[in-house]
């Protein structure tokens, strides 16, 4: 069946649709639409044009909106420019200038590379949409978008390294705690053996008695050191965990 002309009911992009289908997805704004409504929307616009009712200033108004957004970029009013281009991308998704403008506003004219995950996802979305509509224009953003993705990968690697360090500290804390308890138990055991050797009636092994005594004393004094080292490692782990939490939050939602 031949394709017929239609207009997207969301972004007003011109379409050619198969009238035998019930629904489809707009290739410009990715919004689902009912085929019959899109066709009717097109014919309603044609009737309006034929009736001479259409406001011929509308194209000029659209150009003024784009020029205003471009001026905001030139004046480095990037937040305002981002809002302007987001509005334009919803109404004129088929116009490559909307997506190129979003890239410029989000990147502050390519002066920013460090972004959180959500911002990088937006940049990749803008780049892909621009590439579909105007590959030549998208080519100018290829290297920049690659550097943004690489910067994000480096941040994720740093976060993974910190998490591995945190895990190792946790293992050290467990080992120090075990070593401390083992030394306490060993000290108690040596002490009882020493007491047995010095009991009346137990003869010989004088050197062994004092060897056990000194060994017991050394183990007894070493056990608090293990627990002290464990507390030091716990403080290190707590500080590292706080850093990881802050870094993770910035990576997912914050600004760099």
DSSP H stretches of helix in the chain: 35-51, 58-74, 78-91, 96-107, 117-133, 135-139, 142-197, 206-252
Positions of the chain with pLDDT under 50: 48-49, 51-57, 256
Q: Are residues 173 and 245 in the same domain?
A: yes
Residue found by looking up tokens 């009013």 in the block: 77
Residues 176 and 241 in one domain: yes
In the block, tokens 């050619």 appear at: 16
CB 88 within 8 A of CB 95: yes
pLDDT of 51 reads 46
Are residues 141 and 93 part of one domain? yes
Q: Mark which of 127, 150, 173 sits at the end of a domain.
A: 150
pLDDT single digits (tens) 161-200: 999 999 999 999 999 888 888 888 777 776 776 676 666 6
Tell me: do 62 and 104 sit in the same domain: yes
Look at residue 59 in the predicted model and tell me its pLDDT: 54
* Domain identity same for 146 and 66: yes
pLDDT at res. 26:
83
- CB of 115 closer than 8 Å to CB of 148: yes
Does one domain contain both 166 and 88?
no
Q: Output the pLDDT for position 52.
A: 46
| Co-location of 68 and 137 in the same domain | yes
Which pLDDT score is estimated for 42?
A: 75
Q: Are residues 146 and 209 in the same domain?
A: no
Examine the domain organization and report whether 88 and 109 are in the same domain. Answer: yes
CATH value at residue 136: 1.25.40.10
Residue 221: per-residue pLDDT: 78
Number of domains composing the chain: 3
User: By residue range, what is the domain housing residue 21?
Assistant: 4-51
> Residue 74 has what pLDDT?
93
121-139 pLDDT, tens per residue?
999 999 999 999 999 999 9
Report pLDDT for 45: 67
Looking at the structure, tell me whether residues 94 and 15 fall in a common domain: no
Query: CA separation (Å) from 98 to 69, 111, 144, 244?
Result: 9, 19, 18, 37
Say yes or no: 136 and 161 in one domain: no
Given a contact cutoff of 8 angstroms between Cβ atoms, the answer to whether 99 and 129 are in contact is yes
Please tell me the pTM assigned to this model.
0.59
């Amino acid at each position: 069946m031949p394709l017929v002309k239609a207009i997207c009911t969301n972004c007003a992009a011109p379409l050619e649709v198969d009238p035998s289908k019930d629904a489809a997805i707009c290739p410009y704004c990715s919004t689902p639409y009912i085929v019959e409504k899109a066709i009717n929307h097109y014919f309603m616009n044609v009737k309006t044009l034929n009736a001479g009712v259409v406001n011929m200033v509308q194209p000029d108004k659209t150009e003024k909106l784009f020029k205003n957004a471009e001026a905001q970029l030139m004046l480095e009013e990037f937040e305002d420019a981002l809002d302007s281009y987001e509005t334009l991308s919803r109404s004129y998704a088929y116009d490559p200038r909307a997506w190129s403008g979003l890239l410029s506003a989000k990147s502050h004219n390519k002066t920013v590379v460090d972004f959180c995950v959500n911002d990088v996802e937006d940049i990749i979305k803008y780049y892909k949409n621009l590439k579909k509509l105007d590959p030549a224009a998208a080519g100018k953003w290829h290297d920049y978008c690659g550097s943004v993705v690489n910067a994000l990968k480096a941040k994720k690697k740093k976060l993974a390294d910190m998490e591995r360090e945190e895990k190792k500290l946790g293992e050290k804390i467990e080992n120090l705690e075990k070593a401390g308890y083992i030394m306490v138990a060993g000290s108690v055991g040596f002490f009882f053996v020493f007491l047995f050797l010095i009991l009346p009636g137990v003869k010989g092994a004088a050197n062994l008695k004092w060897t056990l005594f000194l060994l017991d004393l050394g183990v007894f004094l070493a056990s608090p050191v293990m627990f002290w080292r464990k507390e030091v490692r716990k403080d290190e782990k707590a500080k590292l965990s706080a850093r990881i939490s802050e870094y993770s939050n910035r990576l997912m939602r914050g600004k760099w």
